[in-house]
Structure formats: structure tokens, C-alpha cells
Amino acid sequence: MTLNGLVAIVTGAGTGIGRASALAFAEAGAHVVAADIDAKGAEATASAIMGFQRRALAITADVGNLDDIDRMVRGTVAEFGRVDILLANAGVTRRAGIMDLTEADWDRIHRVNAKGVFFCLQRVAREMIPQKSGRIINIASIAGKGYAGASNAAYAASKGAVISLTRTAAQQLGPHNINVNAICPGVTRTALSNANLEVRARELGVTVEEMDRRRVADIPIRRANDPEDIAAMAVFLASPGARNITGQTYNVDGGIIPD
């Protein structure tokens, strides 16, 4: 699964799945652009990438802003001359019941999770089409497939949008030799997930430890994801071994969702 010499952009690279994936890409041989809305997070990940003797570039970018997306891609091409891989990972949410969601919640979540993924994909595809090659990997969620433990309905809808986008983009970009796939993580130990866990524990009047035990008990394999589990799938989908895989959505969830 070598990625030697390829250039990858990872959004939301400062923490969690994004950071783990950026490091995994570098370990597999890629040069990596670590993009994050938090400049310090992006810089910390870029510094860690250089520990693998790979080139790295930290870019501060809000993927809900099209000017930032364009600047991110232009900066990548200026530094490396091309873009081979996009991991559209940046996402936001909060724990809320369906009757508690506000218009502001909807707009914030969809601005990043759906709009951001689409326009990152579109902008990167403008570079990949002339190359006649590219791998686009979108981070969706089992929430988009009906997982009952989703943080909220707006989040689930945004991730369902990513799944649909992935399938359509794969059909339309396939003739340009661009593969488009999505990963649907299940319960994953990240700062965002842990914040939702704490809210849920307060709602039920139990300890965070008890709430964590309950969510793991619902996983058939009895183990939550570490970010590295998602990163491993991302590396595979970016690798030559996945050259004929496109338009697919892969659950990495320990067996929670059957399809």
C-alpha cells in the first residue's frame, strides 16, 4: 500500500481522524498538506509528518469558506505541483435531540459537513482531471446510514449527503480516472466524540465511564475505533490496491451497521 511520492491534502488534520490519517499517509510515503481551521493543530501535525522524512505543509483553512478552499488547493499546487489524494475529513456536530436543534445548528453543521466536503471535492477535482488521476476519500459516518446513536438528526442528514455525493461524484469523475469513496466511522475515540459522550452521560445521570461501557457494549466486536482504524482504511483506499474501487461507502464500526 505504498503512496511513495504522492501528495495528499487532509482537512481537519489537527486532531482525531484527520491527524491519524495525515500521519498514516506520511508513513506510507506521501507528502501531506495538513489543513485545519486551527493553525496550531495544523502546524503540530505538519511537524509530526516531517518526522517520517516526508515534506509537509500546514494550511489554516475553514472548509465552509470557498476562498479558503481555493487558497488551500492553490497553496498545495504551488508547493508540490499536484494533488493526488484528498481526505475530506473536517466535520462538526453537537449532541442534541431532534426538537432541540436550531436553524443555526443546521446551518453550521451542513456548512462544514456537506458544503465543505462538496466544494473541497470539486476544487481538488479541477486539479485531478488534467492529471487523469486522483483519489478522493470522504469521511461520512454510520449516522448517515441510520445509526440510532447519532449525535443529532442534522448531523445524520449531513453525512447522508456525503454518502450520496460520493456515489454521484464517482460516476461523473470515473471517466477521468478519479476514484471517489467514503468511509463511515462508527464509535471512534476522538475529542468530538468524547464531548458528545459527556453530554449523553449527563442526560442519563450516569458517569462518563458507565456511558462509555454502554456504547462499547452495543458494538458486536466490543471495541470502539481508535482514529488509526479509520486511517488504515484511508491509506488502503488511496493505494494502488484500491485502483478499481470507486463509489463505495465502507463502514469501520465493529459491526454496528450491517451494510
Which cell numbers hold the place of 221? 466486536
The letter for the amino acid at 201 is A
Find, among 83, 88, 21, the residue nearest to 235 by Cα.
21
3-class SS of residue 103: helix
The single residue of 25, 119, 147, 155 carrying the catalytic annotation is 155
Q: Phi and psi at residue 179, in whole multiples of 5°?
A: -90, 135
SS3 79: helix
- C-alpha–C-alpha distance, residues 72 and 68, integer Å: 6
Map residue 258 onto helix, strand or coil.
coil
Radius of gyration of the chain (CA): 17
In Å, how far are 26, 161, 190, 198 from 141, measured between CA atoms? 24, 10, 14, 20
CA distance 133 to 85: 9
Instruction: Calculate the CA 162 to chain-centre distance.
Output: 10
Could you give the CA distance from residue 52 to residue 65 in angstroms, rounded to a whole number? 31
Q: Is 155 a catalytic residue?
A: yes
Give the strand pairing for 134-139 and 178-185: parallel
Phi-psi region of 5 (alpha: psi -120 to 50; beta: other; left: phi over 0): left
Residues labelled as active-site residues: 155
